[in-house]
A and B are shown apart, each in its own frame.
Chain A
Amino acid sequence: NAGVMQNPRHLVRRRGQEARLRCSPMKGHSHVYWYRQLPEEGLKFMVYLQKENIIDESGMPKERFSAEFPKEGPSILRIQQVVRGDSAAYFCASSPAERGGYTFGSGTRLTVV
Chain B
Amino acid sequence: KNEVEQSPQNLTAQEGEFITINCSYSVGISALHWLQQHPGGGIVSLFMLSSGKKKHGRLIATINIQEKHSSLHITASHPRDSAVYICAVRSDVIQGAQKLVFGQGTRLTINP
Query: Which chain A residues have a beta carbon within 8 Å of chain B's beta carbons?
Result: 31, 33, 35, 42-45, 48, 55-56, 58-59, 91, 93, 98-99, 101-107, 109
Contacts and interface: CB of A to CB of B under 8 A. Distances in A.
Interface of B: 30-31, 33, 35, 40-45, 48, 86, 88, 90, 95-105
The 10 closest A-B pairs by CB, nearest first: A106-B42, A56-B96, A104-B43, A45-B99, A43-B102, A42-B104, A42-B102, A101-B48, A48-B98, A98-B98
A42 B45 contact: no
A104 B45 contact: yes
Nearest to A43: B102
Main secondary structure of the interface of B (DSSP, over half): strand
Given A35-B100, A43-B86, A99-B90, 18 more contacts: A31-B98, A33-B99, A33-B100, A35-B102, A43-B102, A45-B99, A45-B100, A56-B96, A56-B98, A56-B99, A58-B99, A99-B31, A102-B33, A104-B42, A104-B43, A104-B45, A107-B42, A109-B40
Nearest to A4: B42
A85 to B, nearest CB: 20
B99 A104 contact: no
Contacts, number: 61
B98 A42 contact: no
Main secondary structure of the interface of A (DSSP, over half): strand
Given A58-B95, A106-B42, A107-B43, A42 B105 contact: yes
Nearest to B88: A43
Contacts of A91: 42-43
A111 B104 CA distance: 22
9 contacts: A35-B100, A43-B88, A45-B99, A45-B100, A48-B98, A55-B96, A56-B95, A56-B99, A107-B43
